[in-house]
Structure 1
């Protein structure tokens, strides 16, 4: 691997005629693109996690994974979806502004208004006479074209069991976790724009771009046997009320150990690298156990880059990549 892709003198780094300098930039590390492939993501299962997962599956309860950022919670959700053959993982990343409606559906009212206005203007320009183009545009009045199911709405509308990752639920407002579980347990929700429309049942686009059926009254009904496999993740940024916790199967991701880190390095890179970097791995594990805020991907990226690097580059990379996440 060529290290000095950039040196800072402003001179084009083209090495051969017709070969732009950017072509020297290497492919991303192997773990960076795992979510875009059909391969199982590399993940080292901590003790007890398989028991928690099987309990959640048998009880049809959501799994609440709690742990530090970078501990592999999201990667595990992809592994679970692949092993159970649940199709592409549906993913909803929570922010402080996320609402229950975001999870269920979006209605593009402005888009529909624009389409109707455009057609009206065209007819007015032709003296009110309809044209063949107008007939083709009659679908603009189909409200369902402007409704898209959100990740949870897609999972509930699916005619098969789907898996959904609801990521960083601890960033939500106080009521959202309970509201989500209420919808799941009630087994239905209504889309007001379709409830007011005529011509149902409707076909609407899902978060995965497939089409799903909505009843003529605008209601999405979940069949109990299709209750989705739900993984909530939390970075411990808040506590949750007891009613929410009792409806989840909970698992706390344990702090990484030197042994676990060696397994992770071996899984992603190779055993020789884990052996060569034993001291780095041990120091990283010690910092975590002493309360340092560090993510496993920091260690992976450092070890990936320092292979064969000289001492000066190694020291600079260590300062750059292995900084505590809690440092301002």
Structure 2
């Protein structure tokens, strides 16, 4: 396709890998449903323990072992709807994950309506529940909440989560202070177009959500936090599991004439240095007719993740 010679061409784009298709179909599919998520029976038992105990599942492992994908697999297999995603960074706070109140937006709208002799805007339209707050909305079936890379957050964030995880509820002070004739207010959630009623400013779950917390092991968590989690360490997939993963994503014939790629991946892999999706990328390119033996191309696809670039 691209030749780098400055000549303009109009060419059809090749089909994207199944895990890079952004259509109405779920991510990681070819249009017929999610690709299987493969873990061993021992790891599946740990997941089930967390489900039965209604405890957060703390998932650790090297990059590319499928930590984040586990949350989507649980939601898909148990038909629990769209995964609520909270990507944690150094600026993340518990308050933002629970809800946000746009006081400035409400004041601006109130001034505009006052100039037009209109009614004051309701407060509910200016309160939006975050991913954690939405997960705690009472429902018949629990939602799945992915707390991604908690170890990148502030050192106090795990302790901040303890009370919410233990009590399964939180308060919105802006609503609890309203007069009695406004005790029930509809607020916006993290789900597009959804509004839910909140009474006296308190949100309390009916079923504790399925909470999947991922960590890259960059920092230790407090014992009090660890005590309230079920811990799962995802191992690097062995050769047999790698073959199963390639087959699940790219079909039964995907492994034909790709043994050399599998051997190259295993030879280059040291803990944390390569991710499974890099092998999938290499196999997909080979099956599409790309010559991976060209200068530097295989190195570009199977580049190591740790150390200097």
1:84 aligns with 2:78: yes
- The offset of 1:208, in angstroms, is 1.0
| Greater helix proportion | 1
> Is the contact made by 2:58 and 2:213 (CA closer than 8 Å) also made in structure 1?
yes
Structure 1 range deviating more: 172-181 or 149-158: 172-181
RMSD of aligned alpha carbons: 1.9
Check conservation: 2:286, 2:292, Cα contact below 8 A: no
1:176-233 deviation digits (Å, cap 9, x = unpaired): 1222231121222111222233423011111113221211x2111223xx11111111
CA contact (8 A) 2:150 2:215 kept: yes
Write out the 4+ residue segments of structure 1 that deviate beyond 3 Å after TM superposition: 310-313
Equivalent residue, structure 1, for 2:197? 213
Q: 1:100 aligns to what?
A: 94
Instruction: Map 1:83-232; keep pairs closer than 5 Å.
Output: 83-120=77-114, 122-123=115-116, 130=117, 134=118, 138=119, 140-160=120-140, 161-198=142-179, 199-209=182-192, 210-215=194-199, 217-223=200-206, 226-232=207-213
Give the gaps of 5 or more residues in structure 2: none
- Distance, in Å, in 2 between the alignment partners of 1:291 and 1:77 is 23
TM-score normalised by structure 2 residue count: 0.89
Q: Would the alpha carbon gap of residues 143 and 47 (structure 1) be closer, same or farther in structure 2, given more than 3 Å must change?
A: same
The residue number in structure 2 matching 1:12 is: 8
Contact 2:55 2:230 in 1 (8 A): yes
Highest CA radius of gyration, 1 or 2?
Answer: 1
d(CA) in 2 for partners of 1:182, 1:284:
44
Q: Give distance in 2, aligned partners of 1:98 and 1:292.
A: 26
Aligned counterparts of 2:248 and 2:292: Cα–Cα separation in 1: 26
Any conservation in 2 of the 1:65–1:234 contact (CA below 8 Å)? Answer: yes
TM-score (structure 1 length as normaliser): 0.84
In structure 2, relative to structure 1, the CA distance for the partners of 1:141 and 1:36 (3 Å cut) is farther
- Given the alignment, which residue of 18, 25, 28 partners 1:30? 18
Q: Secondary structure at the match of 1:276?
A: coil
Counterparts in 2 of 1:35 and 1:259: CA distance versus 1, 3 Å: same
Closer, same or farther: CA 270–35 of 1 in aligned 2, 3 Å? closer
Mapped to 2, the partners of 1:272 and 1:190 lie a distance apart of 54
Which whole-Å CA distance do the structure 1 matches of 2:272 and 2:258 have between them? 20
The aligned counterpart of 2:53 is 59
Question: For 2:27, what is the secondary structure of its paired residue?
Answer: helix
Q: Which runs of 5+ in 1 are unaligned?
A: 15-20, 124-129
Does residue 50 of structure 2 align to residue 50 of structure 1? no
Q: 2 CA distance for matches of 1:52 and 1:235?
A: 18
Are the equivalent residues in 2 in contact too, given 1:93–1:167 (CA < 8 A)?
yes
